[in-house]
Structure 1
Amino acid sequence: MNTEQQEYISLINRSAPDDILIKKTGWEEINLQGHAHKKFQIIYTLSGTLHVETEGANYFVPEKHIAWIPENASHKLSSNSRQVSLIIFYVTLNVTPDDSKSRFSIYSTNAIIAENIKFIASKGKLITQKEQPDLYNFTLSFFNLLPQMSPGADVLLKTLVIPNDSRLHPILDYIVEHIHEELNMEQIASQYNLSVRNLSRLFHTSGLHFSSYVNHLRITRAIELLTDGEYTVQEIAYRVGFNTPNNFNRVFKQITGKSPKAYITGV
């Protein structure tokens, strides 16, 4: 975390409860280590994709989605997209512990949500109740209603649990780094001087299924590459480790409910 980022986090925590802070990021690298805010953080992925690590899980936020981070929730932010642009709001909301808004969530958007976000963000870096009461009340009402306005969560947005067993961490890091290669239990077990049985047990006791985990990572990476728009669907299939485009299309639709081309066009 650089000095500018540290200073902005300090600014958020020093701000008055009725201050709504707005931050827009340009085409820049996102890599923020663990931190927390006294306000709710609402992130709209205008372009590119985002990873949010919080409460022992890693969440993937596709383009044109919203990450809802509760107040005082420790989290990390990163992105594998070539370029990423975000609109971020920091706001105080009065919610009860059993309210869904008190938990981390990812919301999909529609034209109405997107236009309201852009409208609010166009009003500058700060909205205060005293100086802009109508805009302030509208913004609070919008965010309070946002969960009801969201069209629903995508199948892909299931979490990847970060296992407590430290023995599995370097193995999962290896899978991420080599996701474009052919991966199987025998090869990875040999890489870490384990038997296939012991490696399988490590995955099982951590609540992970090897092939599902690998496929999830591959499709997540595929969506990042689709968002970048640099490669064709066929090129992406090979770049994320699939032997054939047909197999890639099948797994992609199995996980997301859409074909890669439909995912790009939104149809």
Structure 2
Amino acid sequence: MNQEQESYISLIKQTSKETIRIKKTGWEEIKLPGHAHEKCQIIYTLSGTLHVQIGSTSYFVPEKHIAWIPGCTEHELSSKNRQVSLVIFYLSLDADDKDTALKEFSIYHTNSFIAENLKFIASKGTEIEQADSPDLYAFALSFFKLLPSISQDMGFLLKMLAIPNDARLHPILAYLQEHLHENLKMPQLAARFGFSVRNLSRLFNESGIRFSYYVNNLRIMRAIELFADGGRTMQQIAYEVGFATPNHFNRVFRQITGVSPNAFVKND
């Protein structure tokens, strides 16, 4: 963590409970090591996509989506996009036992109503103080508390990548991410890393990873990242992430996300 990041995290930790802090990132690289603070963190991905690492699980947040990170949650932030623009809100929420959605990490899809309210709140500067702007503070806090109930939970995008406990799989999974454009098959992968097909299959199974499903998830996640970068046709993206035909890409994309690639892009 660099000095600027450390200073801002320290500022967040020192911010009073009666203050909503707002941070806007420009077109910059996102790479923030593990950290935690008491504030609930709501991240709106204006442009680009985001990876949120919590424990051994990596979550994927597409463009024009919201990551809801509860307070006191250790997390890392990163992105593979060329340029990323985020709006981040830090606030204190007193959630009772009924407000389970406020206490859990979630990814939400935005609509025009949500987007306009987020932009309105973000337009008020770097902080909203309850003492200085009680009505605005009350509105913003109420809006954020309602966010889980008025947003569509993107459950299919949760837990995109689980880091297995068995270290023997780590270089293999890293290889998969770097070679998605290739025709990835278990026999070739086993030979490259010195396993028999049977032993490598067992290693995946014992770690709770279904090989073909895992590879398809990686490919769809990479496709969504490429959507955000722009400059490519849907057909080019399909080939670039390793699908033999656009039809196969469309079918797998729909299986994983519930919508076609074109519909996904249009909704963003």
Q: TM-score, normalised by structure 1?
A: 0.96
Check conservation: 2:106, 2:153, Cα contact below 8 A: no
1:51 maps onto 2:51 in alignment: yes
- Please report how far the alpha carbon of residue 196 of structure 1 lies from its aligned counterpart in structure 2 after TM superposition: 0.8
Question: Which amino acid letter does the alignment assign opposite residue 167 of structure 1?
Answer: R
Matched position secondary structure for 1:72: coil
Q: TM-score, normalised by structure 2?
A: 0.96
1:210 maps onto 2:230 in alignment: no
Distance 2:217 2:160 in 1: 10
Alignment correspondent of 1:225: 226
Alignment correspondent of 1:126: 127
1:26-175 residue pairs with structure 2 within 5 A?
Answer: 26-96=26-96, 99-153=100-154, 155-175=156-176
- Please report how far the alpha carbon of residue 153 of structure 1 lies from its aligned counterpart in structure 2 after TM superposition: 2.0
Matched position secondary structure for 2:52: strand
- Please report how far the alpha carbon of residue 159 of structure 1 lies from its aligned counterpart in structure 2 after TM superposition: 3.4
Alignment correspondent of 2:241: 240
Matched position secondary structure for 2:153: coil
- Please report how far the alpha carbon of residue 158 of structure 1 lies from its aligned counterpart in structure 2 after TM superposition: 4.7
Question: Which amino acid letter does the alignment assign opposite residue 48 of structure 1?
Answer: G
Question: Which amino acid letter does the alignment assign opposite residue 115 of structure 2?
Answer: A
Distance 1:219 1:213 in 2: 10
Check conservation: 2:49, 2:63, Cα contact below 8 A: yes
Distance 1:42 1:34 in 2: 16
Distance 2:239 2:154 in 1: 28
Alignment correspondent of 2:8: 8
Question: Which amino acid letter does the alignment assign opposite residue 206 of structure 1?
Answer: S
Percent of residue pairs bearing the same amino acid type: 62
Greater shift, 48-57 or 147-156, is seen at 147-156
* Residue deviations 1:115-147 (CA, integer Å, cap 9, x gap): 110000000001111111111111111111110
Alignment correspondent of 1:20: 20
Check conservation: 1:96, 1:102, Cα contact below 8 A: no
- Runs of 5+ consecutive residues of structure 1 not aligned to the other structure: none
Check conservation: 2:160, 2:217, Cα contact below 8 A: no
Distance 1:97 1:47 in 2: 34
- Runs of 5+ consecutive residues of structure 2 not aligned to the other structure: none
Question: Which amino acid letter does the alignment assign opposite residue 17 of structure 1?
Answer: K
Distance 2:97 2:162 in 1: 23
Matched position secondary structure for 2:132: coil
* Residue deviations 1:10-29 (CA, integer Å, cap 9, x gap): 10001111111100001111
Distance 1:257 1:237 in 2: 17
- Please report how far the alpha carbon of residue 258 of structure 1 lies from its aligned counterpart in structure 2 after TM superposition: 1.8
Matched position secondary structure for 1:66: strand
Runs (4+) of structure 1 moved beyond 3 Å?
A: 156-159
Check conservation: 1:108, 1:154, Cα contact below 8 A: no
For this pair of structures, how many residues does the alignment match? 267
Change in Cα spacing, 1:172 to 1:105, as seen in structure 2 (3 Å) is same
Distance 1:152 1:29 in 2: 27
Distance 2:262 2:140 in 1: 35
Matched position secondary structure for 1:183: coil
- Please report how far the alpha carbon of residue 110 of structure 1 lies from its aligned counterpart in structure 2 after TM superposition: 1.0
Check conservation: 2:58, 2:159, Cα contact below 8 A: no
Distance 2:9 2:267 in 1: 35
Alignment correspondent of 1:179: 180
CA RMSD of aligned residues (A): 1.4
1:253 maps onto 2:254 in alignment: yes
